[in-house]
Protein backbone atom coordinates (compact mmCIF):
# COMPACT_ATOMS: atom_id res chain seq x y z
CA UNK A 1 0.00 0.00 0.00
CA UNK A 2 2.84 2.40 0.88
CA UNK A 3 4.43 1.83 -2.53
CA UNK A 4 1.14 2.69 -4.28
CA UNK A 5 0.68 5.88 -2.26
CA UNK A 6 4.24 7.05 -2.87
CA UNK A 7 4.03 6.23 -6.58
CA UNK A 8 0.74 8.13 -6.89
CA UNK A 9 2.39 11.21 -5.40
CA UNK A 10 5.48 10.75 -7.54
CA UNK A 11 3.37 10.32 -10.69
CA UNK A 12 1.88 13.79 -10.19
CA UNK A 13 5.33 15.32 -9.83
CA UNK A 14 6.51 13.43 -12.90
CA UNK A 15 3.88 15.10 -15.08
CA UNK A 16 5.76 18.40 -14.99
CA UNK A 17 9.25 16.90 -15.29
CA UNK A 18 10.79 16.44 -18.79
CA UNK A 19 11.19 12.77 -19.69
CA UNK A 20 14.63 13.27 -21.24
CA UNK A 21 15.92 14.72 -17.96
CA UNK A 22 14.54 11.85 -15.91
CA UNK A 23 15.95 9.25 -18.28
CA UNK A 24 19.37 10.88 -18.28
CA UNK A 25 19.56 11.39 -14.52
CA UNK A 26 18.54 7.82 -13.71
CA UNK A 27 21.31 6.51 -16.01
CA UNK A 28 19.63 3.16 -16.65
CA UNK A 29 21.43 1.23 -19.42
CA UNK A 30 18.46 -1.11 -20.00
CA UNK A 31 14.82 -1.15 -18.93
CA UNK A 32 12.34 -4.06 -18.96
CA UNK A 33 8.68 -3.10 -19.50
CA UNK A 34 6.15 -5.93 -19.51
CA UNK A 35 2.53 -6.35 -20.60
CA UNK A 36 -0.15 -8.98 -20.18
CA UNK A 37 -2.56 -8.35 -23.03
CA UNK A 38 -3.29 -5.94 -25.87
CA UNK A 39 -6.84 -5.79 -27.19
CA UNK A 40 -9.35 -3.41 -28.75
CA UNK A 41 -12.20 -5.19 -27.00
CA UNK A 42 -13.40 -5.66 -23.45
CA UNK A 43 -12.13 -8.95 -22.05
CA UNK A 44 -14.24 -9.86 -19.00
CA UNK A 45 -11.63 -12.36 -17.83
CA UNK A 46 -9.05 -9.55 -17.56
CA UNK A 47 -10.67 -6.11 -17.45
CA UNK A 48 -11.71 -6.35 -13.79
CA UNK A 49 -8.17 -7.20 -12.68
CA UNK A 50 -5.97 -4.69 -14.53
CA UNK A 51 -6.25 -2.18 -17.42
CA UNK A 52 -6.33 -3.45 -21.00
CA UNK A 53 -4.00 -1.64 -23.41
CA UNK A 54 -5.46 -1.04 -26.88
CA UNK A 55 -3.52 -1.85 -30.03
CA UNK A 56 -3.26 1.88 -30.79
CA UNK A 57 -1.81 2.61 -27.35
CA UNK A 58 0.54 -0.38 -27.63
CA UNK A 59 1.87 1.00 -30.91
CA UNK A 60 2.22 4.45 -29.38
CA UNK A 61 4.10 2.96 -26.42
CA UNK A 62 6.50 1.09 -28.71
CA UNK A 63 7.08 4.11 -30.96
CA UNK A 64 7.85 6.13 -27.84
CA UNK A 65 10.33 3.47 -26.69
CA UNK A 66 11.99 3.39 -30.10
CA UNK A 67 12.45 7.17 -30.02
CA UNK A 68 14.45 7.06 -26.77
CA UNK A 69 15.88 3.54 -26.64
CA UNK A 70 17.38 0.81 -28.77
CA UNK A 71 15.46 -2.48 -28.83
CA UNK A 72 17.65 -5.07 -27.12
CA UNK A 73 18.15 -8.63 -28.29
CA UNK A 74 18.14 -11.55 -25.90
CA UNK A 75 21.92 -11.71 -26.30
CA UNK A 76 22.09 -8.06 -25.19
CA UNK A 77 20.15 -8.97 -22.05
CA UNK A 78 22.59 -11.77 -21.25
CA UNK A 79 25.52 -9.39 -21.67
CA UNK A 80 23.75 -6.83 -19.48
CA UNK A 81 23.28 -9.35 -16.67
CA UNK A 82 26.87 -10.50 -16.99
CA UNK A 83 28.11 -6.90 -16.85
CA UNK A 84 29.61 -7.06 -20.33
CA UNK A 85 27.31 -4.60 -22.10
CA UNK A 86 29.16 -1.66 -23.65
CA UNK A 87 28.04 1.88 -22.78
CA UNK A 88 25.83 3.54 -25.36
CA UNK A 89 22.24 4.50 -26.01
CA UNK A 90 19.92 2.97 -23.39
CA UNK A 91 17.90 -0.01 -24.54
CA UNK A 92 14.73 -1.89 -23.66
CA UNK A 93 13.68 -5.52 -23.67
CA UNK A 94 10.00 -6.43 -23.76
CA UNK A 95 8.30 -9.36 -22.04
CA UNK A 96 4.67 -10.51 -22.09
CA UNK A 97 3.13 -12.54 -19.26
CA UNK A 98 0.30 -15.12 -19.04
CA UNK A 99 0.13 -16.36 -22.64
CA UNK A 100 -3.22 -14.89 -23.65
CA UNK A 101 -4.48 -15.52 -27.19
CA UNK A 102 -3.76 -11.91 -28.20
CA UNK A 103 -0.04 -12.71 -28.01
CA UNK A 104 -0.43 -14.33 -31.42
CA UNK A 105 -3.21 -12.23 -32.96
CA UNK A 106 -2.26 -8.70 -31.85
CA UNK A 107 1.06 -8.42 -30.03
CA UNK A 108 3.37 -10.56 -32.18
CA UNK A 109 2.33 -8.97 -35.52
CA UNK A 110 3.09 -5.48 -34.15
CA UNK A 111 6.43 -6.58 -32.71
CA UNK A 112 7.45 -8.23 -35.99
CA UNK A 113 6.44 -5.14 -37.95
CA UNK A 114 8.63 -2.94 -35.74
CA UNK A 115 11.51 -5.41 -35.48
CA UNK A 116 11.31 -5.84 -31.71
CA UNK A 117 12.37 -9.03 -29.92
CA UNK A 118 10.33 -10.22 -26.95
CA UNK A 119 9.83 -13.12 -24.57
CA UNK A 120 6.40 -14.62 -23.91
CA UNK A 121 5.96 -16.23 -20.50
CA UNK A 122 3.24 -18.89 -20.39
CA UNK A 123 1.52 -21.26 -17.97
CA UNK A 124 1.40 -24.74 -19.55
CA UNK A 125 -1.75 -25.69 -17.61
CA UNK A 126 -3.78 -23.16 -19.60
CA UNK A 127 -2.49 -23.83 -23.12
CA UNK A 128 -5.40 -25.01 -25.32
CA UNK A 129 -7.93 -23.58 -22.84
CA UNK A 130 -8.86 -26.68 -20.86
CA UNK A 131 -8.83 -24.73 -17.58
CA UNK A 132 -8.31 -21.10 -16.55
CA UNK A 133 -6.43 -19.30 -13.80
CA UNK A 134 -8.10 -18.35 -10.53
CA UNK A 135 -7.43 -14.72 -11.49
CA UNK A 136 -9.48 -15.07 -14.67
CA UNK A 137 -12.22 -16.68 -12.61
CA UNK A 138 -12.20 -13.72 -10.24
CA UNK A 139 -12.45 -11.27 -13.14
CA UNK A 140 -15.47 -13.18 -14.51
CA UNK A 141 -17.02 -13.07 -11.02
CA UNK A 142 -16.46 -9.32 -10.72
CA UNK A 143 -18.06 -8.84 -14.14
CA UNK A 144 -21.18 -10.75 -13.05
CA UNK A 145 -21.17 -9.19 -9.58
CA UNK A 146 -21.98 -5.78 -11.07
CA UNK A 147 -25.50 -7.05 -11.81
CA UNK A 148 -25.93 -9.21 -8.69
CA UNK A 149 -29.03 -8.78 -6.54
CA UNK A 150 -29.05 -8.13 -2.79
CA UNK A 151 -29.55 -11.80 -1.88
CA UNK A 152 -26.56 -12.82 -4.00
CA UNK A 153 -24.36 -10.10 -2.51
CA UNK A 154 -25.26 -11.16 1.03
CA UNK A 155 -24.47 -14.77 0.16
CA UNK A 156 -21.12 -13.80 -1.31
CA UNK A 157 -20.27 -11.72 1.77
CA UNK A 158 -21.03 -14.74 3.93
CA UNK A 159 -18.76 -16.99 1.83
CA UNK A 160 -15.85 -14.52 1.92
CA UNK A 161 -16.36 -13.66 5.59
CA UNK A 162 -17.06 -9.97 5.02
CA UNK A 163 -19.01 -8.53 7.95
CA UNK A 164 -20.65 -5.72 5.99
CA UNK A 165 -22.65 -6.37 2.84
CA UNK A 166 -21.79 -3.22 0.92
CA UNK A 167 -20.50 -3.51 -2.64
CA UNK A 168 -17.10 -1.93 -1.94
CA UNK A 169 -16.25 -4.42 0.82
CA UNK A 170 -17.37 -7.38 -1.27
CA UNK A 171 -15.35 -6.30 -4.31
CA UNK A 172 -12.27 -5.71 -2.16
CA UNK A 173 -12.57 -9.18 -0.64
CA UNK A 174 -13.04 -10.78 -4.05
CA UNK A 175 -9.90 -9.14 -5.42
CA UNK A 176 -7.87 -10.49 -2.50
CA UNK A 177 -8.72 -14.14 -3.20
CA UNK A 178 -5.76 -16.28 -4.26
CA UNK A 179 -5.03 -19.79 -5.54
CA UNK A 180 -5.48 -21.16 -2.04
CA UNK A 181 -9.09 -19.98 -2.10
CA UNK A 182 -10.17 -21.88 -5.20
CA UNK A 183 -13.04 -23.63 -3.37
CA UNK A 184 -14.35 -20.23 -2.24
CA UNK A 185 -14.03 -18.87 -5.78
CA UNK A 186 -16.01 -21.80 -7.18
CA UNK A 187 -18.66 -21.47 -4.46
CA UNK A 188 -19.14 -17.80 -5.32
CA UNK A 189 -19.42 -18.74 -8.99
CA UNK A 190 -22.25 -21.11 -8.08
CA UNK A 191 -24.09 -18.28 -6.33
CA UNK A 192 -23.82 -16.16 -9.48
CA UNK A 193 -24.58 -19.12 -11.74
CA UNK A 194 -21.26 -18.83 -13.57
CA UNK A 195 -20.14 -21.81 -15.63
CA UNK A 196 -16.36 -21.40 -16.02
CA UNK A 197 -16.12 -24.32 -18.44
CA UNK A 198 -18.66 -22.73 -20.75
CA UNK A 199 -16.97 -19.32 -20.52
CA UNK A 200 -13.56 -20.84 -21.22
CA UNK A 201 -14.93 -22.52 -24.34
CA UNK A 202 -16.67 -19.31 -25.43
CA UNK A 203 -13.79 -16.87 -24.90
CA UNK A 204 -10.73 -19.12 -25.31
CA UNK A 205 -8.55 -16.73 -23.28
CA UNK A 206 -5.20 -18.44 -23.82
CA UNK A 207 -2.93 -19.49 -26.64
CA UNK A 208 -3.42 -22.84 -28.31
CA UNK A 209 -0.41 -25.12 -28.58
CA UNK A 210 -0.45 -24.49 -32.33
CA UNK A 211 -0.26 -20.72 -31.76
CA UNK A 212 2.48 -21.10 -29.15
CA UNK A 213 4.55 -23.22 -31.52
CA UNK A 214 4.05 -20.57 -34.19
CA UNK A 215 5.41 -17.84 -31.91
CA UNK A 216 8.40 -20.01 -31.08
CA UNK A 217 9.00 -20.78 -34.75
CA UNK A 218 8.87 -17.05 -35.56
CA UNK A 219 11.81 -16.45 -33.23
CA UNK A 220 10.13 -15.24 -30.06
CA UNK A 221 11.52 -16.59 -26.81
CA UNK A 222 9.14 -18.69 -24.72
CA UNK A 223 9.60 -18.95 -20.97
CA UNK A 224 7.90 -20.34 -17.89
CA UNK A 225 5.46 -18.33 -15.78
CA UNK A 226 4.92 -21.23 -13.42
CA UNK A 227 2.77 -24.22 -14.30
CA UNK A 228 -0.62 -22.77 -13.38
CA UNK A 229 -0.04 -19.15 -12.26
CA UNK A 230 -0.21 -19.71 -8.52
CA UNK A 231 1.32 -17.21 -6.09
CA UNK A 232 4.87 -18.36 -5.33
CA UNK A 233 5.08 -16.30 -2.15
CA UNK A 234 2.28 -18.44 -0.68
CA UNK A 235 3.96 -21.80 -1.44
CA UNK A 236 6.37 -24.05 0.37
CA UNK A 237 9.78 -24.44 -1.34
CA UNK A 238 8.88 -27.94 -2.54
CA UNK A 239 5.73 -26.59 -4.24
CA UNK A 240 7.69 -23.80 -5.93
CA UNK A 241 10.23 -26.29 -7.24
CA UNK A 242 7.44 -28.49 -8.56
CA UNK A 243 6.00 -25.50 -10.45
CA UNK A 244 9.39 -24.88 -12.03
CA UNK A 245 10.12 -28.45 -13.04
CA UNK A 246 6.63 -29.22 -14.37
CA UNK A 247 6.48 -26.04 -16.44
CA UNK A 248 9.92 -26.48 -18.01
CA UNK A 249 9.38 -30.18 -18.59
CA UNK A 250 6.26 -29.28 -20.59
CA UNK A 251 8.00 -26.52 -22.56
CA UNK A 252 10.96 -28.75 -23.39
CA UNK A 253 8.70 -31.59 -24.47
CA UNK A 254 6.34 -29.54 -26.65
CA UNK A 255 8.60 -26.73 -27.90
CA UNK A 256 12.10 -28.13 -27.50
CA UNK A 257 13.20 -24.89 -25.83
CA UNK A 258 16.94 -24.77 -25.16
CA UNK A 259 17.15 -21.88 -22.66
CA UNK A 260 15.25 -21.85 -19.40
CA UNK A 261 13.80 -18.39 -18.70
CA UNK A 262 11.32 -17.77 -15.88
CA UNK A 263 9.12 -14.92 -14.65
CA UNK A 264 7.33 -15.00 -11.30
CA UNK A 265 3.54 -14.82 -11.42
CA UNK A 266 2.28 -11.81 -9.45
CA UNK A 267 5.43 -10.99 -7.46
CA UNK A 268 8.74 -12.30 -6.14
CA UNK A 269 8.22 -10.51 -2.82
CA UNK A 270 9.67 -12.46 0.12
CA UNK A 271 11.17 -15.16 -2.10
CA UNK A 272 14.35 -16.30 -0.38
CA UNK A 273 17.85 -16.15 -1.81
CA UNK A 274 18.08 -19.92 -1.47
CA UNK A 275 15.27 -20.35 -4.01
CA UNK A 276 17.15 -18.19 -6.52
CA UNK A 277 20.19 -20.34 -5.91
CA UNK A 278 18.04 -23.37 -6.68
CA UNK A 279 16.82 -21.72 -9.91
CA UNK A 280 20.35 -21.08 -11.11
CA UNK A 281 22.31 -24.05 -9.77
CA UNK A 282 19.77 -26.90 -9.84
CA UNK A 283 16.99 -25.89 -12.23
CA UNK A 284 19.48 -24.35 -14.69
CA UNK A 285 17.35 -21.23 -15.18
CA UNK A 286 19.40 -18.78 -17.23
CA UNK A 287 17.40 -15.67 -16.30
CA UNK A 288 14.50 -14.90 -14.02
CA UNK A 289 12.25 -11.84 -13.86
CA UNK A 290 10.25 -10.02 -11.20
CA UNK A 291 7.69 -7.22 -11.27
CA UNK A 292 8.99 -4.68 -8.72
CA UNK A 293 9.62 -1.83 -11.16
CA UNK A 294 12.84 0.08 -11.63
CA UNK A 295 14.99 -1.72 -9.05
CA UNK A 296 18.07 -3.86 -8.75
CA UNK A 297 18.12 -7.24 -7.03
CA UNK A 298 20.72 -8.97 -4.89
CA UNK A 299 19.90 -12.27 -6.60
CA UNK A 300 22.24 -12.59 -9.57
CA UNK A 301 20.66 -13.15 -12.97
CA UNK A 302 17.33 -11.87 -11.65
CA UNK A 303 15.83 -8.81 -13.37
CA UNK A 304 13.07 -6.53 -12.10
CA UNK A 305 10.56 -5.34 -14.71
CA UNK A 306 8.28 -2.33 -15.05
CA UNK A 307 4.51 -2.99 -15.36
CA UNK A 308 3.16 -1.28 -18.49
CA UNK A 309 -0.50 -1.56 -17.42
CA UNK A 310 -1.29 0.50 -14.33
CA UNK A 311 -4.50 2.16 -13.13
CA UNK A 312 -4.24 5.93 -13.27
CA UNK A 313 -1.82 5.97 -16.22
CA UNK A 314 -2.71 6.25 -19.89
CA UNK A 315 0.66 5.49 -21.48
CA UNK A 316 3.99 3.80 -20.89
CA UNK A 317 5.62 7.22 -21.10
CA UNK A 318 3.71 8.32 -18.00
CA UNK A 319 4.56 5.10 -16.17
CA UNK A 320 8.26 5.40 -16.97
CA UNK A 321 8.37 9.03 -15.87
CA UNK A 322 6.91 8.02 -12.53
CA UNK A 323 9.30 5.06 -12.24
CA UNK A 324 12.33 7.22 -12.99
CA UNK A 325 11.31 9.90 -10.49
CA UNK A 326 10.52 7.26 -7.87
CA UNK A 327 13.94 5.71 -8.49
CA UNK A 328 15.71 9.07 -8.19
CA UNK A 329 13.82 9.95 -5.00
CA UNK A 330 15.01 6.73 -3.33
CA UNK A 331 18.57 6.83 -4.65
CA UNK A 332 20.03 9.10 -1.91
CA UNK A 333 18.88 6.65 0.78
CA UNK A 334 19.95 3.51 -1.11
CA UNK A 335 16.43 2.07 -1.44
CA UNK A 336 16.68 0.81 -5.02
CA UNK A 337 18.14 -2.60 -4.20
CA UNK A 338 16.06 -5.62 -3.15
CA UNK A 339 18.15 -7.58 -0.67
CA UNK A 340 17.32 -11.31 -0.41
CA UNK A 341 17.87 -13.33 2.74
User: pLDDT of 247-275, one tens digit each?
Assistant: 999 999 999 999 999 999 999 999 999 99
Which stretch of 110-119, 163-172, 299-308 has the lowest confidence by average pLDDT? 163-172
pLDDT band at 56 (very low <50, low <70, confident <90, very high): very high
Mean pLDDT within 187-214: 98
| Intra-chain end-to-end CA distance of the chain, in Å | 22
What pLDDT score was predicted for residue 1? 46
Between CA 303 and CA 293 the distance in angstroms is 10
Between CA 113 and CA 312 the distance in angstroms is 29
Using DSSP's 3-state secondary structure scheme, residue 229 falls into coil
User: How much of the chain, in percent, has pLDDT values that exceed 90?
Assistant: 89
Domain spans in the chain, listed from the N-terminal domain onward: 2-46+53-129+207-338, 134-200
Residue 58, phi then psi, degrees to nearest 5: -60, -45
Between CA 89 and CA 17 the distance in angstroms is 21
pTM exceeds 0.85 for this model: yes
Residue 311 has pLDDT above 50, yes or no: yes
For domain 2-46+53-129+207-338, the question of CATH label 3.20.20.370 is answered with yes
Q: Contacts from 144-147 at CB under 8 Å and sequence distance 24+? A: 144/192, 144/194, 145/170, 145/171, 145/174, 145/192
Between CA 337 and CA 302 the distance in angstroms is 12
What CA–CA distances, in Å, run from 14 to 11, 21, 24, 53, 323? 5, 11, 14, 21, 9
Between CA 323 and CA 295 the distance in angstroms is 9
Centre a 10 Å sphere on the Cβ of residue 80 and count the other Cβ atoms it contains: 17
pLDDT band at 12 (very low <50, low <70, confident <90, very high): low
Between CA 224 and CA 28 the distance in angstroms is 26
Instruction: Give the distance from CA 36 to its chain's centroid.
Output: 6
Mean pLDDT within 142-162: 92
What pLDDT score was predicted for residue 109? 98
Mean pLDDT within 303-330: 95
Amino acid sequence: MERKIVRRFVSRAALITPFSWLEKMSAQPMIFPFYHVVSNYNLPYISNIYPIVSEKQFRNDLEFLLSYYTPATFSDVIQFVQGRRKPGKPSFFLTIDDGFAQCETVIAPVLKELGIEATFFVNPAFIDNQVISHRQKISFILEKYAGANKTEKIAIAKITGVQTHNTKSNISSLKKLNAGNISIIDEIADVLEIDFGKLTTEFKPYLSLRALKKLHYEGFHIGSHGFDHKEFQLMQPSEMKQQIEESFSWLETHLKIEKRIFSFPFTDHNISLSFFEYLQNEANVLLSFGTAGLKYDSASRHIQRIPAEMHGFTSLRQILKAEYLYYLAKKPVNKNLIVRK
